[in-house]
Amino acid sequence: MNLKKYIRSIPNYPKKGILFRDITTLLEDPKAFSYVIKKMHAISKKIPHTKIAAIEARGFVFAATLAYLNKKPLVLLRKKNKLPGATISQKFKLEYGTGIIEVHKNSLNKNDKVIIVDDLIATGGTALASAKIVEKCKAKVSAFLFLIDLFDLPGNNKLLARGYKTFKLIDFPGH
């Protein structure tokens, strides 16, 4: 299946110079969404893991389904002040700003092997912050799983250079 035809490209969003890859068009197509989940599930079954972590917000869509299918706990990596309990935080840079990501302190431990899931990898800021926060909890990052890699942006290469395994279903230019 050619998944690229299900991704809408929106120029100058959320700011001028950004070419936004909108996955809502894929999610609205039951066959395309089902295909993506089947592909991601097949990949995840080959990766040793005890938990699946979802990067807010679009990573939740894929990670929740994978956690259910794999019968593994789902860990939420959320924007600052979105989790009600005690948290661990990590600052990071985005393609178009900065942010802070958090996880509940009791969500991960030293025995956990984690697949981190998001819809897209661009500059790598959010993904690297997610890895750092998992490692702050003494857990191990087993791999990253993305729907889209914006291959002309440095994110995936940054992860690979730091020894992380990455998997993606679609390659798109970021510009």
Closest CA to 153 of 116, 114, 126: 126
Catalytic residue ranges = 58, 95
Q: What is the pLDDT of residue 73?
A: 98
Give me the domains of the chain, ranges plus CATH numbers.
Answer: 48-168 (3.40.50.2020)
Give the global pTM.
0.96
pLDDT digits (tens, 9 = 90+) for 75-95: 999 999 999 999 999 998 775
pLDDT digits (tens, 9 = 90+) for 105-132: 999 999 999 999 999 999 899 999 999 9
- Cα distance between residue 57 and residue 150, in whole Å: 18
Quickly state the pLDDT bin for 143 (edges 50, 70, 90): very high
Q: In this structure, how many other beta carbons lie within 10 angstroms of the beta carbon of residue 53?
A: 29
Query: Within 13 Å, how many C-alpha atoms sit on residue 124's CB side?
Result: 17
Quickly state the pLDDT bin for 14 (edges 50, 70, 90): confident
